[in-house]
Amino acid sequence: MTTGVLWHTARMELEGSRVLVTGASRGIGAALAEELAAAGALVVLLGRDASALEGVAHRVDGVPLVADLADPAQVSGLVDRIEAQEGPIDVLVNNAAIDSAGEFVDLEQEQVEALYRVNLLTPVELCRQVLPGMLERGCGHIVNVSSLAAFSAFPGIAIYGSSKAGLTQFTAGLSADLRGRPVGTTIVELGPAATGMMDRVSSHQPTADSFARLHRLRLLAEVPLQSAARATVQAVRAGRRHVRLPRRAAVAAELAAAPRRTTEWLLTGISHQQKR
């Protein structure tokens, strides 16, 4: 098993669906775009690097759109503009992220604010923008790509880890809001993957040493991009709430989620929808 499941959400048919993937120019975003296209979806690719986006779009027969998700002005009304141009978004994949490695005291205010905006505020805002249409149409799915750093504290990545922890907790709360409705959520919690982001994060020696120790203890393993993308697409299709890779870290993720699971159990039977 590659996923942990608390309850199933709505299953999603990807054949003929329209999927928006942020941070789609490289890494896990590009792998997700390829896997989604192979499943029959029309993929809209969002990112800052126009040339790289064009390359991925050519491979997946998708639509490249350039936007800076750190700019609130560009994010404002973004879903409406995309849907007016391309049609309704059936699946939103919030994958774009900024990494940061180094001593927290050495970071500038602008660096901290940009990271929280791209990693947390913008995904939350895009969810807010896309949900009304999904609910009105009676179908949709939201994927938020988080990290195992959301529940493990490593030196050098305090703001990155906390931004992903916020995204994980937000997705759990959103899932509670949507329980019983025709829109599903999936949170993807990944360990180190073969991306440029991991190379940059590991450039800070305390962070690199921490990862190396967990690798030696066989508590971490590199996550192949295609495996992560394939597991995510399968989760969307099946309406599963979690993807956790590598598998050996899934137990720790389940333990970290235990308070949320307990609350969900205690609230069984309570309507999560506002009476109108």
Asked if residue 249 lies in contact with residue 148, where contact means CB atoms within 8 angstroms, the answer is yes
Catalytic annotation present for 160: yes
Distance CA 188, CA 168 (A): 9
**H, E, C per residue of 96-163:** CCCCCCCCHHHCCHHHHHHHHHHHHHHHHHHHHHHHHHHHHHCCEEEEEEEEHHHCCCCCCCHHHHHH
Distance CA 41, CA 18 (A): 6
Catalytic residue among 151, 154, 160, 211: 160
Distance CA 125, CA 127 (A): 5
Distance CA 176, CA 153 (A): 26
Could you give the C-alpha distances from 230 to 37, 160, 235, in angstroms and in order? 11, 25, 9
Distance CA 161, CA 179 (A): 27
Query: How many residues in total does the chain contain?
Result: 276
Asked if residue 160 lies in contact with residue 115, where contact means CB atoms within 8 angstroms, the answer is yes
Distance CA 118, CA 78 (A): 14
β-pair partners for 91: 19, 141
Ramachandran angles phi, psi of 189, nearest 5°: -110, 110
Asked if residue 4 lies in contact with residue 242, where contact means CB atoms within 8 angstroms, the answer is yes
Q: Which two tokens mark 64?
A: 């490249």
Please list the active-site residues.
Answer: 160
